Amino acid sequence: MRAIADTLSARFNPVAVRGELSGFARAASGHCYFSLKDDTGQVRCAMFRRAADQLRFQPRDGQLVEVRGKLDVYGPRGDLQLIVESLQPVGQGALFEQFLLLKAQLESEGLFDAARKKPLPLQPRSIGVVTSLGAAALRDVVTALRRRVPHLPVVIYPAAVQGSSAPAELCAALQKAFQRFHDHGESDVVLLVRGGGSLEDLWSFNDAGVVRTIAQAPMPVVCGVGHETDFTLADFVADLRAPTPTAAAELCSPPREQRLGELSYLGERLRDEMVSGLDRRAQRIDYIAQRLGRPSSRLHESAQRLSSLQHRMQSGVKHAAQRHRLRIEAMEAALPRAVERAMELQRRRLQTCETSLGMLDPHLVLERGYAYLSDAQGVAITRVDQSHAGQSVVATLADGQIGLTVNAT
């Protein structure tokens, strides 16, 4: 049966039905039971007390009415029944049909998607209220906020909540709240509220312009319009729906006692953590102190270590000095022989250079019968084309120079 009921709910709800009242009865519990019928059949209806208390007329058998609610299955009997949330005389059905059509259109635009809804701030800095200054809902909201969060500022953005001018005024008030939030961080949550009424009374909150304006809100918007059984399109687009204006105020204002209790709990946790931290650090100090021991013992150990290092250093210096002294004595003994070997090597190199230089002496070439020719300016003549007939030249021989004249070239 539950599966059938869930299927009906997913496929049809909410529904609006027009029919004739039959067998209307109100039980001692306050619940109402009746049937709706027409020429083709009838359906059993149940109207629970919270909805029945909102009736503004006395239903009677045979009266033509329009109801809205949801289909369900009554488990014990397996009967189909309609759970009625509102009951009105015929005349308001067209308006509800318009409500359903507009709801479907706005829903197709994604304005009611759960993914776009913003969470309420855990601790708001200020709360904005959009409603009429003369509305009873405003008094209820202010009373609740003063009781629960008297330290928070409350900003009122007045607007008509009923009548032809209400949609435009509601949009203007919301836009003002949005702008002041951007400019000054004012009202980080906004309550859109009014008291209960008929479908016509609440129609301003079904206006498409109002719904789209709410969707643009940079801060969370809580809608508390009408009574628990009243639904408007503003409820679907708002970030949170409250059953009443007072409930809207309570949803965004945790009571001061709760916050004080949370602070007290956090303070106790902080103290516990501080005490535990101090204990851990005290234990660590004790452990380090045990490792350090008495300062005099540490000093004695350090002095012994220093004395050992000093003895090792002195011994090392003595051995190093002895080694260097032996090396110096060996070098001193070897120095004369090394100097003599170096001098002999240099003498041999000098003799070799003298022999090589003598072999390059040009006079040795002249001694073998060669002559060196040069012109009057002393420029060497090494080629035939450097001379001409009648030119005076000088021939240098082994024992002097002689002047010559070129006869022919």
Task: Express each pLDDT in 244-293 by its tens digit.
Answer: 999 999 998 876 666 667 677 788 888 878 878 887 887 888 777 776 66
* 365/370 Cα distance (integer angstroms): 6
DSSP label at residue 80: E
Q: Which residues pair with 395 in a beta bridge?
A: 373, 402
Maximum CA extent, the chain: 169
pLDDT given for residue 3 in this prediction = 64
pLDDT given for residue 108 in this prediction = 93
- What pTM, to 2 d.p., does this model score? 0.48
- At residue 93, φ and ψ (nearest 5 deg) are -65, -40
Rg over CA atoms, the chain: 58
Q: Which residues pair with 71 in a beta bridge?
A: 82
Supply the angle between the helices 208-215 and 166-184 in degrees, to the nearest 10: 10
pLDDT given for residue 177 in this prediction = 96
Contacts of residue 315, defined as CB under 8 A and 6 or more positions apart, other chains included, come to: none
- At residue 70, φ and ψ (nearest 5 deg) are -140, 145
Consecutive 10-residue averages of pLDDT for the chain (409 residues): 62 81 91 91 91 85 86 76 87 69 92 93 92 92 91 94 93 96 93 86 92 96 86 93 92 74 78 82 78 68 82 81 81 82 88 80 78 86 85 87 84
pLDDT given for residue 2 in this prediction = 62
